[in-house]
Amino acid sequence: MNADNSSEVPVPQVDQPAVLAAMELVMKWGQTPGGPEVLQMALGALEPQLNREHEALLRKLSMREKADDQRARAERERQQLQFRTTSLIVGAILSVAMLAAGVYVAKDAWWLACLLCGPSLISMAAITILRRHDKEAMRSVADAAKRATSAASQTQMP
């Protein structure tokens, strides 16, 4: 405001349409009979409606956020199910292939048959199909493989 024209309302420096529209409304209300008192009453009557709209918007945003979370969780679960199913199929195919290969080579290479059909088959199935791998279980599989190989080497066929 300047000293020459004190009834003028200052115009904001910001060029935002919402601020300009609000300032235009304030200037119109200031020119009505009753002046600022009428504006104060109108704003007081408008405040509960604005609060209700704000609460409704917050609820809507909260519901949208929950829906987005549910969609993301469902997508994650779908991907995990697909991964587990694929692992199960691959593990089963590998187990059957190792067993078939072990039976096929048993006549010519007993040591290879022990490796293919022995504890390594069980450990591979436990890892890919059951999704379990403990250090102690792996240690016991390695010990069993050593015992199976040494037992098979002592009883070689003529």
Mention every residue, 6+ apart, whose C-beta is less than 8 A from residue 100.
Answer: none
- Distance CA(109)–CA(46), nearest Å, equals 91
> By CB neighbour count within 10 A (0-12 exposed, 13-18 middle, 19+ buried), where does 74 fall?
exposed
Secondary structure letter of residue 51 according to DSSP: H
In a domain, 64, yes or no: yes
Half-sphere exposure of residue 114, counting CA atoms within 13 Å on the CB side? 17
pLDDT of 30: 66
Residue 11 belongs to a domain: no
Query: What contacts 24+ positions apart, CB below 8 Å, involve 25-29?
Result: none
Task: Check residue 55 and give its pLDDT.
Answer: 92
Other CB atoms within 10 A of residue 119 CB: 20
Which residues does the chain have with pLDDT short of 70? 1-19, 29-30, 35, 39, 152-158
Instruction: Find out whether 105 and 113 touch, Cβ atoms under 8 Å.
Output: yes
Domain that holds residue 150: 17-154
Whole-angstrom distance, CA of residue 124 vs CA of residue 20: 71
pLDDT at 1: 46
Q: What is the pLDDT of residues 10-52, one digit of tens each?
A: 555 556 666 677 777 777 766 777 767 776 777 777 788 878 8
Number of structural domains in the chain: 1
Q: Do residues 93 and 129 lie in contact, with contact meaning Cβ atoms separated by under 8 Å?
A: no
pLDDT at 14: 55
